[in-house]
Chain A
Amino acid sequence: MNDTVTPAVPPGLRSRSLLPDTEARLKLRKKRARRDRNSRWGITAAGFGVVFALAMIFVYLFYEVFPILKGATVTPQADYALPVTQATHQHLILERYEELGIQYTENGQVTFFEADTGAVRHQVSLDLPDETEITSFTHSEVIGGVTAQGLSNGQIIITRHAFDLSFPQDRRVIAPRIEYPFGANPIQVDQDGKAIQHLAVETVTRGSGGSLIAAITEDQRLILTHLTTRTNMMTGETTANTRQVTLTDVPAAPVKMLLDKALRNLFITDNRGYIHHYDVSDLNTARKVASINAGNGQNITAIDFLVGSVSLIIGTEKGELSQWFLVRDENNQFNLTRIREFKSHNAAITVITPEYTRKGFLAGDADGYLGIHYGTSARTLYLKKQADAPIKDLAISQVNGRILVLDDQNRLQVASLWNRHPQLSFSAMWNKVWYEGRGAPDYIWQSSSGSDEFESKFSLVPLSVGTLKAAFYAMLFAMPLAIAGAIYTAYFMTPKLRGIVKPSIEIMEALPTVILGFLAGLWLAPFAEDNLPAVFSFFILMPVMMLLFAFIWSKLPLRKIVPDGWEAALLAPVILLFGYVCIIASPWIEIWFFNGSMRQWFTDIGVTYDQRNALIVGIAMGFAVIPTIFSIAEDAVFTVPRHLTQGSLALGATRWQTVMGVVIPTASPGIFSAVMMGFGRAVGETMIVLMATGNSPVVNFNIFEGMRTLSANIAVELPETAVGSSHFRVLFLAALVLLALTFIVNTIAEIIRQRLRARYSNL
């Protein structure tokens, strides 16, 4: 349309027209279209990005938790003939860096070989006395590397393998060697010089120290020798002190002898499936305590301690595997008790090799199957055919990354192992577990300790119970207050007061929980402890006092001045006054009814009272939850269509009847969703429970005891754990559980709320 105006204008002026020409307009239109498109794409990308980032939370948490579910994987790496086959094989070891294998053989040789190829790196021959031969062999707990050879002349040789590490040119070089912790000379265990048929050696390093050697001679005597060594600081010379006792109460056909690390218990298996338990804590009173039919008709073909030498793993000729340990009964007697079974192999168990730092073990059987099992969780992580011939020996490295499998045909297999999280299983986390040293199965959360041999206790039950306990008491406090308050604010209160109450409740919601937690822990907890009667009388008598005041008020002529809807304001001074009276009266109540101290009275009647307890958490967390419930419930009640209530009132119902008969039934889904939201908040709250409880993972609902919740547990333990460890992943699992739980609860609440809104608009 510009063209119709322009013809009269001279060509020179035409370009100076203020209106854009076609080309410019086209350009402009393109530019605008481009901008529109860019804006659309940009916003869509950002929108997707945000949704993706939020979805990422789920995905990532699951990704971190996922490895828990995986079993073990074994990947064969190499396969070669055993380095030494001329003499009978005794024992196989794989060292810490998974580089060297160690083989003990019955000709007194120790062979260090490359685990990758089987090439011999170093060989040591033990210095045997003339005209003797090795008649028995034992090793103490593998991590110490101590082994002992029993000789035909009643002597034994104790050795230890060790490694020197050096890093020339930043490369690790391991130089193996053999040490003699008790001196190079053989120790004369049997003064009669009889051959030693069975042997067990163990050393204590803690306390007074010392070693115990148990030996069974060919003429069926059990000789216990206690050795204490002292190294002279000046000369470096080692002198040994020995004490000996001989027992004759020896099983007919002993097969294997095991001595625990505390030097208290000795176990001897025989060829009938029995385990004979000896108490050797004091040599002078050493005796046989009991003979247990552990095999139950089957022969015990393999037995070994788990790390820490508390639990025995027993393998039978039918391939059954079970765990046993000593349990103390009411009479303070220790009984060897069958704790749990593992998945059975199909053939006789030939060898059991414990892991070094965890309660797991490898088991090999006569069919060539390799089993990887774990004590605490009773999990079988791997059970597959590993060799064509029966398995003769197994070795695992200290870091559980590589294994050696030796079969009957003297073929040695090297395989890498992935077995990161055997401790965790559904039953280990949610069922009662019988932990070592406990009298009965129990729910325990105790994730770490100073010792390597510690059995991690990852029961999520105490934490879940604690979470529910905290949420329960918080809801108990918050629900009546918030719902009653919401109904009153939405339906009865004057708009003037409502304009003050609503923002105040919003402020209440915004208060940082760290402040609530700190007040609960540092102010409320000591206050409640000092004024227990005041707290109880206040909460129990307060409603009565309110009703009393309301009744008196209804009789007063004064009530005409104050219109309806101001009841809350009138009650505020009553509550304050009554609270004050309660505090003043508190010590007198203690003197009159509780012998001067209510807290002491609780202790006397057998109720545990912690200063920071569920009562405090209930009040503090209730405070945090009230605004959540209040806002949503108030909204639901307030938006009940007016014509419904007006109809009810017009039919002659009182205001309260209208509330009970019309308002609450209509708004109940909204109130329910408010409660759900409040519950979701109470379940995940961290700081309040962290600060207002003692954080002890107990399993009970006592209002005067503390608890430890999932969220507080994460806050306390996550900064301390090793990245990628089982403990780390359990904490991620706890976070995932919290996320899923609150997400589901909130979603249900939100859906109910949206339905309700749709219903209101239809009414």
Chain B
Amino acid sequence: MKAWFKSGSPWIWLNGGAVAFCMIMVVGLIGLIAVRGFGHFWPADIVKVEITQPDGSRQVVMGEIVRPQTITAAVARDGGRTDIPEGMDLITRYLLKQGNKDQTSNDFAWYFELGMGEFQYPKDAYQIERREWGNFYGQPVALVRSGEVIARPAETNFWSTLQESINRSLALHKEIRGIEKGEIGQMNAQIERLRLDLRRLELRNPSAQERAQEEERIAAERARLDAEYAILRVELDKLYESTRRDTLVMRMSDDREVNISLATIVRVTAPNSMSVFGKAGQYIERLWEFLTDVPREANTEGGIFPAIFGTVTMVFVMSIMVTPFGILAAIYLREYAKQNMMTRIIRISVYNLAGVPSIVYGVFGLGFFVYFLGGSIDKLLYEAALPTPTFGTPGLFWASLTLALLTLPIVIVSTEEGLARIPSTIRQGSLALGATKSETLWKVIVPLATPAMMTGLILAIARAAGEVAPLMLVGVVKLAPTLPVDATFPFIHLDRKIMHLGFHIYDVGFQSPSAEAARPLVYATALVLVLLIVILNLTAISIRNRLRERYRSASD
């Protein structure tokens, strides 16, 4: 033993253990997110269980089991369960997602195994996803159309009739949304433009005749829009009326009957009677919805499409800004600047800026870009809209610009490294053939260093996609009403606020009213973000490795 210690190998083992522990942490973290994130979409079975309370009363509850937990009896007793027998040390409790928030107001509840009957999985237990109030769990009683019962669960065609009606109401809903978002949205934009025209007119103070003409035009335009709106309104009212045709009557676990209008239903499933393939189909459908749909219920349900879109747009705009400047700055530092003390100081400073806390960039972005630059732009170009700020408020452009500044050092460092790796023989060869410095640079060196620049850009994108702290200050919001890119001129709206995956995680996980309900969605969102960043980084790493191989052969 003593000799073994003296050999020093225990310390080597301990060092190895540190590496093993780090690796376990990384793999465990990604694994945890993957399991929780992917697991969210799998349709869980609905259990129904009878619980006998300590006072002898019976209660039937129904819902999905979120997780069981084993706690010590002392903790349970502290929590108010005094009926736990003396000899019992540990006790299991189950967290049940029982939904029906509009009826019972506690959609998540813990139940102790004490007094719990056997778990039942009734075949006709439905999980109903609704636009409001979250999920509903219950058993069907009847489908009612315009006040008359048209189908009963006992009938064989009940399920198909129900799905048909739901599909119809979903189609109607889509149509309504199309009108509201598309035509009415455009109309609002036009009315806003007219208002600005009028305001601009006042600011410009033109001749009386011109003013009268302009005012007349605006009034006519407005009248036309109002008339169009009235027509649309009638159409919309009709559609709304039509969605209220069908009602599903459901029975809750406590035998109360509830009417649910199909207009509020997104999806009805009966997971207990589904085959594995059925569930897999359902899984893909839900996953797809998650990636392509807009959020509902204060972001705790529905999809994350606006967040994905916002992240991508922001990163895209940022790349456009950071790439040329980063690369040019790196070329300057490596190729043109005199390699003296000053350049060394600048280089160290630029490298160090990569280590400056991101929140500092956020503060700078808010103060300088948003309030100072944005405020000036508003005064010069958007005077009519004041006091409502256009660029003088956080938005896509400022968020991108701030991130561009934040990722500039990354691109510079990476490009410089790439330039430094190029063997000087290649450079000298080109110069010896009579090429000017710029020809050598653009035709020989830059093409060779492209992969390094790509690596820098990818790393910059990965960093930008995951950065949240500065964005909280300069343009990301929890719920943006519109996407930053749409069909209205000028198509890319740099002044709009955007949603962002990272901020979505922070917001849903920490600011939403029901943390328990939001949790699965946060895991799923985190998974999307982690996948995005891991893929980007792996790409960067592989490009860099290939690059090293290439230069190794070039310098030989």
Contact = CB atoms under 8 A, between A and B. Distances in A.
B325 A550 contact: no
Interface string B183-196: 00000000000000
Contact of B23 (A501, A680, A743): A501
A714 B438 contact: no
B359 A711 contact: yes
Interface in A505-549: 505-508, 510-519, 521-523, 530, 542-543, 546-547, 549
A489 B14 contact: no
B529 A512 contact: yes
A49 B17 contact: no
Contact of A550 (B13, B409, B463, B502): B13
Interface centre among B16, B502, B503, B529 (most CB of A within 10 A): B16
A654 interface: yes
B436 A44 contact: no
A606 B194 CA distance: 67
- Judged by DSSP, the binding face of A is helix
A74 B456 CA distance: 54
B20 A512 contact: no
Given A590-B72, A683-B357, A51 B350 contact: yes
A481 B21 contact: yes
A54 B29 CA distance: 35
A684 B359 contact: yes
A657 interface: yes
A570 B14 CA distance: 12
Contact of A511 (B75, B359, B530): B530
B13 A512 contact: no
Interface stretch (A55-63, A141-149, A285-293, A349-357): A55-63
Interface string A578-591: 00000000011011
Contacts of A657: 8
Given A40-B437, A597-B75, A623-B25, A512 B506 contact: no
A685 interface: yes
A735 interface: yes
A659 B27 CA distance: 29
A43 B15 contact: no
A743 B349 CA distance: 8
B265 interface: no
B29 A44 contact: no
Nearest to B329: A50
B368 to A, nearest CB: 5
A485 B14 contact: no
B62 interface: no
B492 interface: no
A715 B468 CA distance: 10
A681 B353 CA distance: 12
Interface in A153-185: none
B361 A514 contact: no
B201 to A, nearest CB: 17
A504 interface: yes
B298 interface: no
A547 B16 CA distance: 11
Interface in A473-496: 480-482, 484-485, 487-489, 492-493
Choose among B22, B32, B356 the residue with the greatest number of A CB atoms under 10 Å from its CB.
B22
A518 B509 CA distance: 7
A677 B331 CA distance: 26
A644 to B, nearest CB: 18
Interface in B407-422: 408-409, 412
A413 B362 CA distance: 45
A652 interface: no
A686 interface: yes
A54 B349 contact: yes
Given A597-B78, A718-B363, A575 B355 contact: no
Contacts of A283: none
A588 B71 CA distance: 10
B13 A742 contact: no
Contacts of B362: 714-715, 718
B112 to A, nearest CB: 15
A512 B533 contact: yes
Contact of A35 (B436, B510, B522): B436
Interface string A45-83: 011111101101100110010000000000000000000
A493 B72 contact: no
Interface in B21-39: 21-27, 29-30, 32-33
Interface in B382-419: 405, 408-409, 412
B526 interface: yes
B22 A481 contact: yes
B363 A684 contact: no
How would you classify the secondary structure of chain B's contact residues: helix, strand, loop or mixed?
Answer: helix
Contact of A47 (B74, B328, B537): B328
A571 interface: yes
B537 A723 contact: no
A53 B405 contact: yes
B360 to A, nearest CB: 5
Q: Which one of A57, A482, A501, A505 has the highest number of Cβ atoms from chain B below 10 Å of its Cβ? A: A57
Given A492-B12, A691-B506, A711 B336 contact: no
Given A492-B12, A503-B541, A504-B26, A597 B469 contact: no
B436 A32 contact: yes
A656 B9 contact: yes
Contact of A596 (B70, B73, B356, B533): B73
A719 interface: yes
A571 B325 CA distance: 47
Contacts of B366: 718
A718 B473 contact: yes
B241 interface: no
Contacts of A750: 348, 351-352
B466 A514 contact: yes
B363 A732 contact: yes
Contacts of B441: 39
Contacts of A591: 72, 74, 89-90
B359 A686 contact: yes
A731 interface: yes
A64 B14 contact: no
Interface string B535-547: 0111001000000
A119 interface: no
A515 B526 contact: yes
A711 B364 contact: no
A511 B466 contact: yes
A507 B29 CA distance: 12
A576 interface: yes
B467 interface: yes
A47 B329 contact: yes
Interface string A709-741: 001001100110001000000011001001100
3 interchain residue pairs of minimum CB distance: A596-B74, A684-B357, A656-B8
11 contacts: A38-B438, A40-B336, A43-B335, A57-B353, A505-B22, A507-B26, A518-B510, A518-B526, A522-B509, A546-B17, A750-B351
Interface of B: 1, 4, 7-27, 29-30, 32-33, 69-75, 77-78, 89-90, 324-326, 328-329, 331-333, 335-337, 346, 348-353, 355-364, 366-368, 371-372, 405, 408-409, 412, 436-439, 441-442, 459, 462-463, 465-469, 472-473, 502-503, 505-506, 509-510, 515, 519, 522, 526, 529-530, 533-534, 536-538, 541
Interface of A: 32-33, 35-36, 38-40, 42-44, 46-51, 53-54, 56-57, 60-61, 64, 480-482, 484-485, 487-489, 492-493, 501, 503-508, 510-519, 521-523, 530, 542-543, 546-547, 549-551, 554, 567-572, 575-576, 587-588, 590-591, 595-597, 600, 623, 626, 630, 654-657, 659-660, 677, 680-681, 683-687, 690-691, 711, 714-715, 718-719, 723, 731-732, 735, 738-739, 742-743, 746-747, 750-751, 754
Given A481-B18, A572-B24, 15 more contacts: A51-B329, A57-B353, A488-B19, A507-B537, A514-B506, A521-B509, A571-B17, A576-B24, A590-B74, A597-B72, A600-B78, A626-B22, A660-B8, A711-B357, A735-B364
